[in-house]
Structure 1
């Protein structure tokens, strides 16, 4: 794969996103040894970072295609072919593996996995308990379907694109915020599990995070001078918003006496805006040097594979099936061993999956879709 066109600053953001996900899912493995709540404050929302980054990259691709070739179904088809050869083979491979393991060990019914094929398992309803991490992939895949479909249908020229594209972005933002606000008023929210099920992990409630990335792509394309001006100031403002969101998210329940309005309605957009404000300075960092930069680029490259294997496959099956019997006890040594196995399998398993499956299947798209 051609690495010469990669932007190192975005590799940093992608690597941070997957590391926050790994950290957040791995931290509970030590809950039997000490209080992990103070450390949970350091867990940023890696998935929302992925959403903003994905929106930024996909938004740029869409605008480039429309500006170069106009709208139309053929361009839309080419976009979908290239995107799905990038995401679907890995997903379906791991889906098959965890389904077979779930059927054998957890009494998972094969028919219950059919919604996962079309990413309908959490479109407008709580995500099933099994293979929970792919809730975010469903959000992304529906974004790949709906937003490009609307874009290629509405915009046939650069003139219309520049004038009306922001309105399409704001429409998707308004949709998600509107659904969340409505649900806040009609759904009984008794705990953060309700927040998770009805707000955080559904397709129709999360488009606004992706749209902030798309908005960044629009501004960087048509208002590049303003987009790139004062990048450090924007970054600090973004970090302030991210920290503010962390404080509100972790302590809003105590401050507002159990009212989850901030969690359910506002927090996603606030955090995404913080990440959005960090994009100008990150996009200006084109290359990195040294072993650290190589490590960051490697983690960025394998992040998708790592996301797919780290939770259900590694934490849910590989570790429990390896450490059974007396080894299933929660002693300090065994819990540390679990963490080491979790990190080792997640990293090196993702490298193998990336090298021997993700790269070959991604290359197939050149046979079916134009670059």
Structure 2
């Protein structure tokens, strides 16, 4: 992958091993959480399926940090570039996320867990309108988190550009927008304007979850302009870790969903975002282990994590379908020690295939086009200056 740091391009050489660890943990928490809903695991083990929720929370915070760093760096040129800077950011993000999302959308029309459906019935998924401020159906259920991400990609830089247009510098504009993304979802959850929405489904609504990414951007803000605070968070990692552990234990006991207070329930989401975001500096400071096997596993899992996330349910469906076809369902599926390794192998095989055939070609196309645009801008700049 091409490396033009000044233009905001990333490369494999500049990947953070610690952030790869974070992405791997988040991804596998989701996979194992969903996998525990299958077969006949021990009740004690099955009780940890809820960890899938926290895997997504961790990824939201990580995404906010990663994309926040890019935005804060690129926004320094937005006063001159304006629309070009914004559309360039959208282009790179959408070339990264939309091709695989659309691929599995069309696969879902025929092979989704909820059953086959039609394009006409699910057209709104193409504009991420499936769960903006309302509960979504069971069709392509995994897409709820992608909708949160895409609305963040669209709204956050747009509002930030607006603030810059009103005369705010990048630092002030970023702080204003971060504050909005932390406060608005909290108030929306507290009010819960949709009567038909159960609160334990609120976690799947875009408007209610944007603060998780917003707190990740706050960590990027600290990294950019308050590095001592960022490094202090890394040193005292055990404090947010302890609080995050307490939240997980509370969830294990059924809280906050059994609480009657909307304030407590909304605060739970906020606290979850704060504590997981506060762990990002610790992950960032991690260095590769002495084991090459672990290092390769982490880097590879992180590399194909998007394919793993969107494809793992279909891998489960494929395995179950094959077991049924060959009369092995009761012998294999009902034994978790047999079916879980098969599930994991199929998840990685499918993820490798979709990464190679769908993600990678579009990433290569994105980077080639981005480099061409960058060279064109450099050439025009030199021409204009007479060099």
Q: TM-score, normalised by structure 2?
A: 0.84
Shift of 1:241: 1.4
Shift of 1:136: 0.3
Residue 282 to residue 331, structure 1, CA distance change in 2 (3 Å) = closer
- Deviation digits for residues 107-155 of structure 1 (CA, Å, limit 9, x no counterpart): 4132122111111111111111111111000010010001111112222
1:221 match: 224
1:321 match: 321
2:4 match: none
Separation (CA, whole Å) in 1 of partners of 2:50 and 2:147: 27
Separation (CA, whole Å) in 1 of partners of 2:181 and 2:234: 27
Q: In the alignment, does 2:199 pair up with 1:195? A: yes
Which one is further off, 14-23 or 92-101? 92-101
Residues 7 and 287 of structure 1 are in contact (CA less than 8 Å); yes or no, is this contact kept in structure 2? Answer: no
Residues 6 and 286 of structure 1 are in contact (CA less than 8 Å); yes or no, is this contact kept in structure 2? Answer: no
Written as runs of structure 1 = structure 2, the 5 A alignment for 1:46-61 is 46-61=55-70
1:90 match: 100
1:121 to 94, 119, 130: 130
Secondary structure, counterpart of 2:150 in structure 1: helix
Shift of 1:174: 1.1
Greater relative CO, 1 or 2 (CA 8 Å, sep 6+)? 1
Unaligned runs of 5+ in 1: none
Q: In the alignment, does 2:184 pair up with 1:175? A: yes
1:250 to 226, 241, 252: 252
Residue 205 to residue 364, structure 1, CA distance change in 2 (3 Å) = same
Q: TM-score, normalised by structure 1?
A: 0.88
- Deviation digits for residues 235-268 of structure 1 (CA, Å, limit 9, x no counterpart): 1111111111112222254x99653647731222
Q: In the alignment, does 2:73 pair up with 1:64? A: yes
Secondary structure, counterpart of 2:131 in structure 1: coil
Shift of 1:330: 7.7
Separation (CA, whole Å) in 1 of partners of 2:335 and 2:350: 21
Residues 81 and 368 of structure 1 are in contact (CA less than 8 Å); yes or no, is this contact kept in structure 2? Answer: no
Written as runs of structure 1 = structure 2, the 5 A alignment for 1:103-182 is 106-155=115-164, 160-182=169-191
Separation (CA, whole Å) in 1 of partners of 2:334 and 2:195: 43
Residues 48 and 272 of structure 1 are in contact (CA less than 8 Å); yes or no, is this contact kept in structure 2? Answer: yes
Unaligned runs of 5+ in 2: 2-10, 375-387
1:100 to 94, 110, 127: 110
Q: In the alignment, does 2:250 pair up with 1:240? A: no
Residues 200 and 257 of structure 2 are in contact (CA less than 8 Å); yes or no, is this contact kept in structure 1? Answer: no
Shift of 1:226: 2.3
Separation (CA, whole Å) in 1 of partners of 2:223 and 2:62: 13
Q: In the alignment, does 2:54 pair up with 1:45? A: yes
- Give the aligned CA root-mean-square deviation in angstroms: 2.7
Which one is further off, 105-114 or 268-277? 105-114
Secondary structure, counterpart of 2:216 in structure 1: helix
Separation (CA, whole Å) in 1 of partners of 2:257 and 2:306: 37
Separation (CA, whole Å) in 2 of partners of 1:92 and 1:256: 33
